[in-house]
Structure 1
Amino acid sequence: MNREFLYNEIANGIANQITAGVLKTGDKLPSVRMLCREHSISMNTAKRVFLELEAQSMIDSKPQSGYFVSWGSHAKLALPEVSQPSSVARFQEPDELINKVYANMGNDDFTLFSIGVPSPELLPTAKLRKEIITATRELKGGGMAYELLQGNVKLRRMIAIRSLGWGGNLHENDLITTNGAMNALAFCLMALGKPGDTIAMESPCFPGTLQLAISLGFKVLELPTHPVTGLEMEALKEAIPKIDLCLLVPNFNTPLGSCMPEANKKEIVALLSKHQIPLIEDDIYGDLYFGTQRPKCCKSFDKEGNVLWCGSVSKTLAPGYRVGWVAPGKYKDKLLKMKLVHSISSPAIAQEAVANFLNSGKYESHLRQLRRTLQDNTQKYVQAIARHFPEGTKTSRPQGGLSIWVELDKGIDTAKLYDRAIQHQISIAPGRMFTLQDQFENCMRLCVGLPWSGQIETQLKKLGSLVKTF
């Protein structure tokens, strides 16, 4: 393994434990020599690990004593509560609020904490531009012809190869390309359900997914969700008799950033398979892990083809390219029919360009840098919230992804906070956007995909001041 990559991976692993609360303020870290033995690294590499953590203000060195966890500002912030949505499927879509927040998308005059994608400054724009030119040259007819119904062969092959890293063991023929992950989710819902069916989801949940389900006539049953471990297993077990479908984001979902333990993923797959309830798995954030290893997916444990695994590069590489995919398992024929009816083909040039980028090895290099940036941003955002927000503020502790979930005092309405913040060119995502029920009014999601700067801290400080005015 590359030495530069290795020291960053070890440092990120320790930082991950501190962020998660496994290592607490004042805890002593292994010595330099012990770190060398545990990871089979040189003294210089071990020292670089500690220097990196010191630079992030996460540890302190004490002469003759060693290294200790010092990220006290994070320790002051408690975790948000486990959500407690109603056990009845409800429909109170916050259309007006969602439309108002997303109306600012693309407006460079605002600090867009509200939009959950990486800033273009964090993406390899110039390299992708070259891949577009290459794809235009190499594709038959310059990319003007229809692509295969199942999608670009090279892209499907690269996705299948990458699935080996999380235990997916997919073949290119297992995959269908789509126009982004939302398109994949839509095909899954249309193929497997009908108006009036009940679909189980985490609560809080991405607004676009809620809107999609409602637009197709589904009843949405929101289930209690822990900010660290994700969906509460007992709640899902109790809901089994009520549901026809299940749609989950097990890895670093938005807005909580929770990551479901492997044991829970395995149990969920077995449970839903036993009751013949299809599981649609949205794994759009899986590659944005902060630790040393990508988490497995529910699809990793799928032996009967009951899991429909969906993904895209919209959160990692190129939001505007709309390149997504689904591994639909035993429902492949139904998904192909949906794609034929609704889109016929996926954009040939964008698929070819992404396939070439993945094949070149540049994607993995880009991901390593992006993950480091997002982890660093997450730590700095939480530190700034601890400094500038009122006492009692709670934040999630994401181990990956693009979001921080902030829980404020019960008396604070973040929809009204949005109206005040927007006057200062600050856009947030109020918590009520992430549910169909009357809950999360005192919560908000902040995206950490903006490059950290003095301006970002100034805007977070201003936001904290506005919270205090309530």
Structure 2
Amino acid sequence: MFSVGKVGLWVQIQKMLYFKVQIEAICNCYYDFCGNCTHMTEYRYEQLEQRLREQIRIGQLAAGERMPSVRQLSRDATLSKSTVLTAYARLEAEGLIEARPRSGYFVAAPAQSTSALTKPATSEPSIQPVPVSVGQVLVDIMEKGTAFDLLPPPPKPVHDSNEPLRRCLARALRRQSRLEQEYYDEPQGLLMLREQLSHRLAHGGSQVNASELVVTSGCQHALLLALMATTQPGDVVAIESPGFYGAFQLLEALGLQALELPCSVDTGISPDALALALQHWPVKALMLSPSYSTPTGACMPEASKLKILSLAKTHGVAIIEDDIYGELPFGLQRPRTLHSYDDSGSVLLCSSFSKCLSRDLRVGWIAPGKYLEKVKRLKVVTSLASSATAQQGASEYLADGAYDRYLRQRRQQFRRQCDQLQELIVEHLPMATACSYPQGGLALWLELPESVDTLQLFHLARQQGITITPGRLFTAQERYHHFLRLSFAQPWTQERQSALQSLGKMIANTI
């Protein structure tokens, strides 16, 4: 038995070893970041990751085979345990290996082949400004609460796995005095939240001070402020096609014209198409989602971001960047924002917690650059102030580190659910002709035979309690009638699988 003194010494040694491992992990994961340089040094965990990836690719490590233990690999390769764990975590995020409780790491089985489905071709919208009319369908979808689900929410609350968030919000509400409830929050939002947000934006490469941020009532509110600050009624706004239906709603409400640009389901907006459009039309603003845009899940390459930013600077065009899906890559590292490359203040970065954390937590933000003073005034006009309680709770949640832990779980969950959806499409919707293969976000873009009108299918599906999102919602033109956006935001329960199977039967009956 240890004496009390020896036990205390042993505890101290364990703490020292723990902090040593944490420091090693930070050092092994550190990237030397410079705004003028995109080179990244290859570190030891990357070398190990590449070696193991190649062994899996050529079959040297077969599906289902147990990976070497962290201790064994650390000893054999003369690497720290934190280096091995980092390499394993990155391979797990890619879906190449999987951790099994109390058993170790194993090579993941390859996903069911979806080779029968090609990718949708680059879109070909008519490149000319048009007024916008969204229609009633979107209102019907929102009334059902099914914008990212085939089925309406259950009548009884389900277990909430994000208990830390609930506790933070509850504590914020309990601590608020009656005197605080009698006053509005400052227009820019709670300082402690803006400080936390400035740290989060650094994950995407953006260097923004708390004084340069404005808290909003969700991302849609941030996009509204950005459009109001950069345009006047009648102006032309360039936008992705297919693009976010909420953006088209805003253009309609503000009396703006939409100039839709061709997009790839892999790489997003075509810089060449933008260059051509800028030669012919007086574009005032460009709205886009470089990271995992809805509905396609496209992620823009860094070279395209730089080219688009250069074009916008040359023509004096403001860029409104919707980064709401940027925190949802299937891997460990999120893409850089387009905003992170901007040194002129012409990019207005907008986002919120609604897609990553909670739809009900209406806390968003905007980094408006040179439009800061305009946006502050418009915030007062459109919403006066934001909920101090929600801001305090969100700020505490970020400060505790709970958000990063939650994101790691959600990213892996969404990757699995996306893979499962692609398998279910092959099984239950064999008539589908093409499908996007996103590497992040919450949705994919499905192409059906041209004889299928998904707007008519929407009304037919509603009669059976199923809600779909027709392709026509993602444009101001008469296009995408035979497309669907399908989301993998929810687990594929038996009920949802049955709904997808029923949808497949409805489509088969219309062909």
In 2, Cα distance between equivalents of 1:296 and 1:54:
26
Which residue does 2:424 correspond to in 1? 384
- Map of 1:154-303 to 2, 5 A cutoff? 154-241=192-279, 242=281, 243-303=283-343
The partner residue of 1:129 within 166, 185, 189 is 166
* Structure 1 residues 67 and 152: CA distance shift in structure 2, 3 A: closer
Say whether the 8 Å CA contact 2:350–2:366 is kept in structure 1: yes
In 1, Cα distance between equivalents of 2:134 and 2:92:
46
* Structure 1 residues 42 and 214: CA distance shift in structure 2, 3 A: closer
Q: Return the offset for 1:346.
A: 1.1
Which residue does 1:447 correspond to in 2? 487
* Structure 1 residues 392 and 181: CA distance shift in structure 2, 3 A: closer
Which residue does 1:28 correspond to in 2? 58
Which residue does 1:89 correspond to in 2? 129
In 2, Cα distance between equivalents of 1:451 and 1:316:
15
* Structure 1 residues 72 and 358: CA distance shift in structure 2, 3 A: same
Q: Return the offset for 1:144.
A: 4.1
Q: Return the offset for 1:41.
A: 2.1
In 2, Cα distance between equivalents of 1:115 and 1:82:
32
* Structure 1 residues 120 and 40: CA distance shift in structure 2, 3 A: farther
* Structure 1 residues 106 and 246: CA distance shift in structure 2, 3 A: closer
- Where 1:358 maps in the other structure, the secondary structure is helix
The residue type paired with residue 185 of structure 2 is E
Say whether the 8 Å CA contact 1:135–1:143 is kept in structure 2: no
In 2, Cα distance between equivalents of 1:467 and 1:300:
44
Say whether the 8 Å CA contact 1:390–1:468 is kept in structure 2: no
In 2, Cα distance between equivalents of 1:230 and 1:96:
27
Q: Return the offset for 1:124.
A: 4.6
* Structure 1 residues 418 and 153: CA distance shift in structure 2, 3 A: same
* Structure 1 residues 43 and 467: CA distance shift in structure 2, 3 A: same
* Structure 1 residues 255 and 51: CA distance shift in structure 2, 3 A: closer
Which residue does 1:99 correspond to in 2? 139
Say whether the 8 Å CA contact 2:93–2:412 is kept in structure 1: no
Say whether the 8 Å CA contact 2:319–2:347 is kept in structure 1: yes
Q: Deviations 1:416-453 (Å, cap 9, x if unpaired)?
A: 11122222221100000111101100001112111222
Q: Return the offset for 1:336.
A: 0.9
* Match status 1:41 vs 2:79: no
The residue type paired with residue 369 of structure 1 is Q
Unaligned runs of 5+ in 1: 7-12, 18-22, 57-65
Which residue does 1:375 correspond to in 2? 415
Pairwise CA RMSD:
3.5
- Where 2:348 maps in the other structure, the secondary structure is strand
Q: Return the offset for 1:170.
A: 1.3
* Match status 1:432 vs 2:472: yes
Q: Return the offset for 1:244.
A: 1.1
Q: Return the offset for 1:349.
A: 0.7
- Where 2:136 maps in the other structure, the secondary structure is helix
Say whether the 8 Å CA contact 1:29–1:68 is kept in structure 2: no
* Structure 1 residues 321 and 52: CA distance shift in structure 2, 3 A: closer
* Structure 1 residues 337 and 413: CA distance shift in structure 2, 3 A: same
**Of 125-134 and 151-160, the range deviating more from structure 2:** 125-134
The partner residue of 2:405 within 331, 350, 365 is 365
In 1, Cα distance between equivalents of 2:262 and 2:158:
36
TM score, norm. by length of structure 2: 0.78
- Map of 1:289-438 to 2, 5 A cutoff? 289-438=329-478
Q: Deviations 1:43-94 (Å, cap 9, x if unpaired)?
A: 9969x959975779xxxxxxxxx97984342222111121111011123524
Say whether the 8 Å CA contact 1:73–1:387 is kept in structure 2: no
In 2, Cα distance between equivalents of 1:342 and 1:186:
9
* Structure 1 residues 448 and 275: CA distance shift in structure 2, 3 A: same
Q: Return the offset for 1:469.
A: 1.2
- Map of 1:2-81 to 2, 5 A cutoff? 28=58, 31=61, 40-41=83-84, 53=96, 70-81=110-121
- Where 1:279 maps in the other structure, the secondary structure is strand
* Structure 1 residues 282 and 27: CA distance shift in structure 2, 3 A: same
In 2, Cα distance between equivalents of 1:220 and 1:281:
16
- Where 1:150 maps in the other structure, the secondary structure is coil
- Where 2:455 maps in the other structure, the secondary structure is helix
In 2, Cα distance between equivalents of 1:208 and 1:335:
19
Aligned pairs, number: 439
Unaligned runs of 5+ in 2: 1-20, 29-45, 62-66, 100-105
Q: Return the offset for 1:128.
A: 2.6
- Where 1:75 maps in the other structure, the secondary structure is coil
Say whether the 8 Å CA contact 2:192–2:395 is kept in structure 1: yes
In 2, Cα distance between equivalents of 1:372 and 1:219:
39
Q: Return the offset for 1:30.
A: 6.3
Q: Return the offset for 1:292.
A: 2.4
- Where 1:129 maps in the other structure, the secondary structure is helix
Q: Deviations 1:8-61 (Å, cap 9, x if unpaired)?
A: xxxxx9xxx9xxxxx9xx95356468x966995279969x959975779xxxxx
User: Relative contact order, CA 8 A, sep 6+: which one is greater?
Assistant: 1
